[in-house]
């Protein structure tokens, strides 16, 4: 009877570290592109159009596919928070001249969250389905 084979000289031992995106990585890859495109859309079109919402959806879905298994729940929690923060930052660029700063921010945030609600719900549901499938299949 022989014992386990010894590793070859110079061979690396198998890694026990989890692979994939961390929570911080998920936030960065979803937040940075979404904010950049929302700011560009706000400057060019005076509002948030279809393209920023598509970028938001694609980055969140990519993040849900790549996040570490230990952080799967974050893939459902992060998208609504990223969208709200992105709209808030883009809303600063869309400030009108009437009313105060807080009133304009509240109006802009409320308007764009209402308009983006289908995107927020759709992306969150898609991310939830992805993490449930990943959790059940062990991927």
Q: Are 52 and 2 in contact (CB under 8 A)?
A: no
From its phi and psi, is residue 8 left (phi > 0), alpha (psi between -120 and 50) or beta? beta
Q: Are 64 and 82 in contact (CB under 8 A)?
A: no
Closest to 89 in 3D by CA, of 40, 26, 25, 28: 40
Measured distance CA(48)–CA(120) in Å, rounded: 14
Query: What are 80-125's pLDDT values in tens digits?
Result: 999 999 988 887 776 666 667 777 778 778 888 888 899 999 999 9
* Domain-wise residue ranges, the chain: 23-137
Query: What are 8-39's pLDDT values in tens digits?
Result: 666 665 555 668 889 999 999 999 999 999 98
- pTM for the model stands at 0.79
**33: three-class secondary structure by DSSP:** helix
């Amino acid at each position: 009877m022989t014992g386990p084979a010894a590793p070859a000289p110079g061979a690396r031992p198998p890694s026990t570290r989890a692979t994939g995106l961390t929570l911080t990585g998920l936030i960065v890859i979803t937040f940075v592109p979404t904010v950049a495109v929302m700011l560009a859309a706000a400057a060019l079109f005076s509002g948030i159009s279809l393209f920023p919402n598509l970028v938001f959806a694609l980055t969140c879905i990519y993040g849900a596919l790549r996040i570490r298994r230990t952080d799967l729940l974050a893939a459902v929690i992060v998208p609504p928070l990223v969208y709200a923060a992105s709209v808030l930052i883009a809303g600063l660029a869309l400030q009108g001249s009437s009313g105060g700063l807080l009133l304009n921010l509240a109006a802009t945030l409320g308007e764009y969250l209402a308009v983006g609600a289908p995107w927020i719900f759709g992306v969150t549901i898609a991310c939830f389905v992805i993490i449930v499938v990943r959790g059940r299949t062990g991927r």
